[in-house]
Structure 1
Amino acid sequence: MSVTDLRRPAPAPPVCLADVERLARPLVPGDVWDFVQGGSGGERTLAANRAALDDIAVVPGVLRGVGTPSTRTRLVASDAALPVAIAPMAYQQLLHSGGESATAAAARAADVPFTVGMLSSTALEEVARTGAALWFQLYWLADRGELLDLVRRAESCGCRALVVTVDVPIMGRRLRDLRNEFTLPSGVRAANLGGSPSQAHGRVPGGSAIADHSRAVFDPAVSWSDLEWLRGQTSLPLIVKGVLGGADAARAAACGAEAVVVSNHGGRQLDGAPASATVLPEVVEAVPEGCEVLLDSGVRSGTDILRALALGASGVLVGRPVLWGLALDGAAGVEQVLSLLHREFADCLTLAGCADPREAGRLRTITGPRGVDRRGAGRRGH
Structure 2
Amino acid sequence: MSRTVPTTGPWDVDRDVHCLEDVERAAREALPADVWDFVSGGSGGEVTLAANRAALRRIALVPRVLRDVAHCDPQTSLFGVPQAMPVAVAPLAYHKLVHPEGELAGARAAKAAGVPFTASTLSSCTIEEITGIGGTVWFQLYWLRDRKKTFELIERAEAAGCAALMPTVDVPWMGRRLRDVRNRFTLPPGVEAANLTWGSGSEAHRAPTSGSAVASHTGSAFTPSLTWSDIEELRRRTRLPIILKGVLAPQDARRAVDVGADGIVVSNHGGRQLDGAVAGVDVLAEVATEVGGACRVLLDSGIRSGTDVLRALALGADGVLVGRPVLWGLAAAGERGVGRVLDLLAEELRDALGLAGCDGVKAAREIRTLTRAG
Using structure 2 for the length normalisation, give the TM-score: 0.95
Alpha-carbon shift at residue 10 of structure 1 (Å): 7.2
Partner secondary structure for residue 237 of structure 2: coil
Partner secondary structure for residue 266 of structure 1: helix
Check conservation: 2:314, 2:365, Cα contact below 8 A.
Answer: yes
1:104 matched to 2:107? The reply is yes
- 2: distance between equivalents of 1:242 and 1:168? 8
- 1: distance between equivalents of 2:76 and 2:249? 26
Select the residue among 208, 214, 231 that pairs with 2:218: 214
Aligned to 1:267: 271
Q: Deviations over 1:325-380 (max 9, x none)?
A: 0001111110000000000000001101101011100000001329xxxxxxxxxx
> Which of structures 1 and 2 has the bigger CA Rg?
1
Gaps of 5+ in 1: 1-8, 371-382
- 2: distance between equivalents of 1:78 and 1:270? 33
- 1: distance between equivalents of 2:294 and 2:280? 21
Gaps of 5+ in 2: 1-10
Aligned to 2:352: 348
Matches within 5 A, 1:1-382: 12-196=15-199, 198-369=202-373
Alpha-carbon shift at residue 105 of structure 1 (Å): 0.3
Q: Deviations over 1:190-217 (max 9, x none)?
A: 0001332523100112210110001111
Aligned to 1:6: none
Q: Which moved more, 1:205-214 or 1:318-327?
A: 205-214
- 2: distance between equivalents of 1:203 and 1:357? 48
- 2: distance between equivalents of 1:180 and 1:61? 49
The one-letter amino acid of 1:318's match is: V
Q: How much is the aligned-residue C-alpha RMSD, in angstroms?
A: 1.3
Q: Which moved more, 1:77-86 or 1:169-178?
A: 77-86
**Higher RCO, 1 or 2 (CA under 8 Å, sep at least 6)?**
2
The one-letter amino acid of 1:325's match is: G
Partner secondary structure for residue 140 of structure 2: strand
The one-letter amino acid of 1:77's match is: G
- The number of residue pairs the alignment matches comes to 362
Partner secondary structure for residue 167 of structure 2: strand
- 2: distance between equivalents of 1:366 and 1:13? 34
Aligned to 1:375: none
Partner secondary structure for residue 316 of structure 1: strand
Alpha-carbon shift at residue 26 of structure 1 (Å): 1.1
Distance 1:193 1:344, change over 3 A: same
The one-letter amino acid of 2:214's match is: I
Q: Deviations over 1:81-133 (max 9, x none)?
A: 01000000000000100100100000000000000000000011111111110
Percent identity between matched residues is 58
Q: Which moved more, 1:308-317 or 1:18-27?
A: 18-27
Check conservation: 2:203, 2:216, Cα contact below 8 A.
Answer: no
Check conservation: 1:117, 1:136, Cα contact below 8 A.
Answer: yes
Partner secondary structure for residue 191 of structure 1: coil
Partner secondary structure for residue 79 of structure 1: strand
Q: Which moved more, 1:284-293 or 1:83-92?
A: 284-293
Q: Which moved more, 1:280-289 or 1:252-261?
A: 280-289
Check conservation: 2:257, 2:294, Cα contact below 8 A.
Answer: no
Q: Deviations over 1:55-91 (max 9, x none)?
A: 0001000001121210100122321101000000000
Distance 1:24 1:144, change over 3 A: same
Q: Which moved more, 1:338-347 or 1:60-69?
A: 60-69
The one-letter amino acid of 2:170's match is: D
The one-letter amino acid of 1:91's match is: Y
Partner secondary structure for residue 141 of structure 1: coil
Check conservation: 1:253, 1:291, Cα contact below 8 A.
Answer: yes
Alpha-carbon shift at residue 221 of structure 1 (Å): 1.3
Partner secondary structure for residue 192 of structure 1: coil
- 1: distance between equivalents of 2:207 and 2:135? 35
Q: Deviations over 1:39-66 (max 9, x none)?
A: 0000000000000000000100000112
